Amino acid sequence: AHRRRIALLGATGSIGSSALDVIARHPDRFELAALSAHSRVDDLVALCERFRPAVAVIANEAGHAALRDGLAARGLATEARAGEAALDAIAADPDSDTVIAAIVGAAGVSSTLAAARAGKRLLLANKESVVLAGSVLMRTAAAHGACILPIDSEHNAIFQCLPADGGRGGVRRLLLTASGGPFRGRSRESLRLITPDEACAHPNWVMGRKISVDSATLMNKGLEVIEAHHLFGLPPERIEVVVHPQSVIHSLVDYVDGSVLAQLGNPDMRTALAYGLAWPERIDSGVAALDLAALARFDFSAPDPDAFPCLGLAYAALREGGTAPAILNAANEVAVAAFLAGRLPFLGISALIEATLATVAAEPADDLAVLLATDGEARRKAGELLSRMATA
């Protein structure tokens, strides 16, 4: 039978390695056309040795020679390429039919759009590209026949619970579950001295450091509300967030007749990745069967807006629309990087995002060039505000 050929962008990350784990379980179904990383050359070479892709891309140009030499030293036929244009090229290459977008941050926008423009099956983990350019992405995918399969666990759950005809008939609300992160239940005051390692120690999921900090501030859920709006076409007032610390109910769809459909599973991204890889079929993902009796209970509560203001900032940006979500996302990326580098306290993350949103005026535009220019401007402004906050 025909094997799906996959381009995996962000192969060395947390989502990347979960995807490779599922792919490796089904050599009869999947093979790798291309792999990419940003700077971890040695890890990328090791993956090339194991999965034998036709092409490997190191996004950071400085790693080009090391990648070429590393592949040659192991006698691999994989072609070494470098730079962002090479990422776009493997995302659009007719040599693959499926693209997994697992780069972190707005750095993934260009290649995600390239995959949509090329009409791929697009397994979408890179939520920042949806927050930054959601309407452009959805338009592009529709115009070129790309099939977007959400990998973010909440959106994957909703995708599974929506009407089978692809419509929204009878849907009342989408309910996104949030674990609450490592600081659930804590007061704002108690979060002053949080360190990067504390913020990255998530109770239920092992993830990259950026999304781990986003989970700790609840900005991750804010980004996901915006992502859900674009993927499923519902307005913000019909997308709600409920805290569910066990992270077993991945999200729910509430229908007008009172039925609420949920997707459950152990918190492991391989379930969503296996779903996207094999859709509409189901394949083994390596994830253990759910043991409800061992779990014993599910808890729910409302998010605390005082300790976690980022969720409210994201709703406000979505309601404002236009370039506001792009400003929010850019400011968040600058703030999280500064926090991880020890240059901004934990509570400074939401403060910097709020200050950036108050400084950079949002426009109604949803044109890609305008959105990318806004992203750049918001990063510059956030950087300036950051140095003022740091010296204050």
Contact set with ligand NDP (CB under 6 A): 10-16, 37-40, 59, 102-104, 107, 125-128, 152, 205, 207-208, 210-211, 269
Q: How far is the CB of 381 from ligand NDP (least distance, A)?
A: 20
Nearest-CB residue for ligand NDP? 13
**Comparison of 152 and 268: residue with beta carbon closer to Mg ion:** 152
- Please give the DSSP secondary-structure letter assigned to residue 2: P
Closer to ligand NDP by Cβ: residue 208 or 383: 208
**Is residue 299 within 8 Å of residue 314, measured between CB atoms?**
no
276 binds, among ligand NDP, Mg ion, none (CB under 5 to 8 A by kind): none
φ, ψ for residue 36 (rounded to 5)? Answer: -140, 155
191: helix, strand or coil = helix
Stretch 101-140: interaction string toward Mg ion, x if CB under 5 A: ----------------------------------------
Report the nearest approach of ligand NDP to the CB of residue 125 (Å): 4
Residue 355 touches which of ligand NDP, Mg ion, none (CB < 5 to 8 A by kind)?
Answer: none
Least distance from ligand NDP to the Cβ atom of residue 35, Å: 9
Residue type, 235: P
CA-nearest of 155, 150, 140 to 366 is: 140
Q: Between residues 90 and 207, which has the closer beta carbon with respect to ligand NDP?
A: 207
Contact 116, 140 (CB under 8 A): yes
Buried b (16+ CB within 10 A) or exposed e, 237-261: eebebbbbbbbbbbbbbbbeeeeeb
Q: Which is nearer to ligand NDP, 62 or 361 (CB)?
A: 62
Q: Pick what 125 binds: ligand NDP, Mg ion, none; C-beta below 5 to 8 Å, kind-dependent.
A: ligand NDP
208 binds, among ligand NDP, Mg ion, none (CB under 5 to 8 A by kind): ligand NDP
Angle ∠(124,114,57) on CA atoms, nearest 5: 85
Tokens of 134: 């959601």
Burial 298-328 (b: 16+ CB within 10 A, else e): eeeeebbeebbbbbbbbbebbeebbbbbbbb
Q: For residue 44, which of 90, 3, 4, 2 has the smallest C-alpha distance?
A: 90
Residue 363 CB, shortest distance to ligand NDP, in Å, is 25
Q: Least Å distance between CB 287 and ligand NDP?
A: 13
Q: Pick what 103 binds: ligand NDP, Mg ion, none; C-beta below 5 to 8 Å, kind-dependent.
A: ligand NDP
Confirm or reject binding of residue 377 to Mg ion (CB under 5 A): no
Q: What secondary structure letter does DSSP report for 301?
A: B
C-beta of 250: minimal distance to Mg ion in Å?
Answer: 8
Residue 248 beta carbon to ligand NDP: minimum distance, rounded to whole angstroms: 15
Indicate the residue among 162 and 368 with the shorter CB distance to Mg ion.
Answer: 162
For residue 262, the partner it binds in Mg ion, ligand NDP, none, with Cβ less than 5 to 8 A by kind, is: none
d(CA 331, CA 350): 9
Among 88, 93, 152, 377, binds Mg ion (CB under 5 A): 152
Specify the residue, 18 or 356, whose C-beta has the smaller distance to Mg ion.
Answer: 18
DSSP string for residues in 232-297? H---GGGEEEEE-TT--EEEEEEETTS-EEEEE--S-THHHHHHHHHTTS----SPPPP-HHHH--
What is the smallest separation between the CB atom of 114 and ligand NDP, expressed in angstroms? Answer: 13
Is residue 99 within 8 Å of residue 117, measured between CB atoms?
no
- In angstroms, the Cα distances linking 275 to 78, 149, 204, 270 are 28, 9, 20, 8
- Rounded to the nearest whole angstrom, what is the least distance from the CB of residue 156 to Mg ion in the complex? 9
Chain positions contacting Mg ion, by CB under 5 A: 152-154
